[in-house]
């Protein structure tokens, strides 16, 4: 199967090191079944997605690698992201984790490599990422789930500033302060759980529903467009082909200023999916060990 000749309508952001990153990609968290992951990613690539967001801990890097090879798409057209899990935080272990990730993905470089969590030997792991970046094996490096203070700490102690911070960002947890901080320091904000994983009756939110009628779009498309119009990269996940296409087709309309202001007012200001300030949650995360 080959999607090489497909015309793609995509918007891009330029990272602080000059690398071009698509504003919309496909996330593969919670698609652990190998065949299912290959099927979904193939559908996503066929729809036009070129950014793929995986992680060692999603246990599907191998399936991602196979779907990519099967697509026939030139590797240089793709933007592949993966992440180091907590158990591999540290200089030596992050370097070996990176090698294993590349092997599983059947590629010889990553477009973006992220520290998955702000826990463990973060400084050691960041030294490893800086080295991988300088050696050209990764085109950009960044972090996930870092607070403003953790970002400031990292930036104060290293030469290379993270190019991306990937955090939970959606209608109910809008990350307005984080977005301001990222703008000031030229760090790209990337939204995980752009639909809050459907929690809190996300898709039935009354403002999303009203605007979906006004713009003749689905609530999912309005939710994604509102994020990309704010300059935030989105990586929605779905296992359904029609939703995969629906989510991809969210860049070809614009939400008016007054409607954006109304969406902005839906902010609950606290994470819906994962609260990294909750000590019990952190202890649970740090205790999870995987064969990766
Ligand atoms: P999400 O994208 O907010 O939500 C996925 C949920 O929405 C699924 O239940 C999906 O159901 C449903 N859905 C998707 N499109 C829909 C549509 N058009 N209409 C109705 N329902 C729809 O949640 P997420 O998967 O947690 O986040 C996205 C990506 O972010 C992940 O896949 C992963 O790559 C990344 N992520 C990163 C971190 C991190 O710590 N760095 C944490 C979590 C996630 P179906 O699948 O049944 O369609």
pLDDT number for residue 9: 83
Mutation test residue for ligand 1: of 236, 245, 246, 250, the one with most atoms within 8 Å of CB: 236
* CA-CA-CA-CA torsion sign (186, 55, 128, 276): positive
The interaxial angle of helices 257-264 and 219-229, nearest 10 deg, is 100
Measure Cα distances from 159 to 83, 153, 220, 260 in Å. Answer: 21, 12, 39, 37
Q: Is 220 in the pocket of ligand 1 (CB under 6 A)?
A: yes
Give the chain as a DSSP string.
---TT------EEE-TTS-EEESBEEE-TT--SHHHHHHHHHHHHHHT--EEE--GGGT-HHHHHHHHHHHT--GGG-EEEEEE-GGG-SHHHHHHHHHHHHHHHT-S-BSEEEESSS-SSHHHHHHHHHHHHHTTSBS-EEEES--HHHHHHHHHH-SSPPSEEEEE-BTTB--HHHHHHHHHHT-EEEEESTTGGGTTTGGG-HHHHHHHHHHT--HHHHHHHHHHHTT-EE----S-HHHHHHHHTTSSS---HHHHHHHHTT---S-SS--TT-HHHHHHHHH-----
Give the residue, by CA position, lying nearest to ligand 1 atom 27. Answer: 193
- Nearest atom in ligand 1 to the alpha carbon of residue 83 is 41
Query: Would you call 29 a catalytic residue per the annotation?
Result: no
Mutation test residue for ligand 1: of 26, 29, 53, the one with most atoms within 8 Å of CB: 29
Q: Is 119 in the pocket of ligand 1 (CB under 6 A)?
A: no
Residue numbers in the chain where pLDDT is lower than 50: 1-2, 4-5
Query: d(Cα 278, Cα 145) in Å, to the nearest integer?
Result: 13
pLDDT number for residue 66: 95
Contact 77, 50 (CB under 8 A): yes
pLDDT number for residue 1: 44
- Nearest atom in ligand 1 to the alpha carbon of residue 218 is 18
pLDDT number for residue 5: 43
- How is residue 43 written in tokens? 């559908």
Interval between CA 280 and ligand 1 midpoint (Å)? 23
Query: d(Cα 172, Cα 33) in Å, to the nearest integer?
Result: 30
Neighbours of 68 (CB within 10 A): 21
Interval between CA 192 and ligand 1 midpoint (Å)? 8
Query: d(Cα 136, Cα 127) in Å, to the nearest integer?
Result: 14
pLDDT number for residue 27: 98
Q: Is 194 in the pocket of ligand 1 (CB under 6 A)?
A: yes
The backbone torsions φ and ψ at residue 197, rounded to the nearest 5 degrees and listed phi first, read 55, 25
Strands 20-22 and 12-14: antiparallel
Give this prediction's pTM. Answer: 0.97
Q: How far apart are the first and last CA of the chain?
A: 30
pLDDT number for residue 32: 82
- Nearest atom in ligand 1 to the alpha carbon of residue 237 is 2
- How is residue 110 written in tokens? 């990553």
Query: d(Cα 154, Cα 161) in Å, to the nearest integer?
Result: 8
């Amino acid at each position: 199967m080959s999607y090489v000749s497909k015309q793609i309508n995509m918007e891009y952001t330029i990272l602080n090191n000059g690398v071009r990153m698509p504003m919309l990609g496909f996330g593969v968290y919670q698609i652990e079944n190998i065949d299912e992951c290959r099927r979904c990613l193939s559908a996503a690539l066929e729809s036009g997605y070129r950014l793929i967001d995986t992680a060692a801990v999603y246990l599907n890097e191998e399936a991602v690698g196979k779907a990519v090879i099967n697509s026939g798409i030139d590797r240089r057209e793709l933007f592949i992201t993966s992440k180091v899990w907590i158990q591999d935080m540290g200089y030596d272990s992050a370097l070996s984790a990176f090698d294993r990730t590349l092997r599983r993905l059947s590629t010889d470089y990553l477009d973006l490599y992220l520290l998955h969590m702000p826990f463990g030997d973060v400084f050691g792991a960041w030294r490893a990422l800086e080295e991988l970046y300088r050696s050209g094996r990764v085109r950009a490096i960044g972090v996930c789930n870092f607070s403003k203070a953790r970002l400031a700490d990292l930036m104060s102690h290293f030469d290379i500033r993270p190019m991306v911070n990937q955090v939970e960002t959606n209608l109910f947890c809008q990350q307005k302060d984080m977005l301001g901080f990222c703008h000031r320091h030229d760090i790209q904000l990337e939204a995980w759980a752009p639909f809050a994983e459907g929690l809190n009756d996300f898709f039935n939110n009354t403002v999303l529903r009203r605007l979906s009628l006004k713009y003749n779009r689905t609530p999912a498309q309005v939710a994604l467009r509102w994020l990309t119009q704010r300059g935030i990269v989105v990586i929605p996940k779905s296992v359904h082909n029609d939703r995969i296409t629906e989510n991809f087709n969210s860049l070809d309309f614009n939400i008016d200023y007054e409607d954006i202001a109304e969406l902005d007012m839906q902010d609950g200001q606290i994470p819906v999916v994962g609260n990294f300030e909750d000590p019990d949650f952190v202890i649970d995360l740090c205790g999870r060990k995987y064969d990766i």
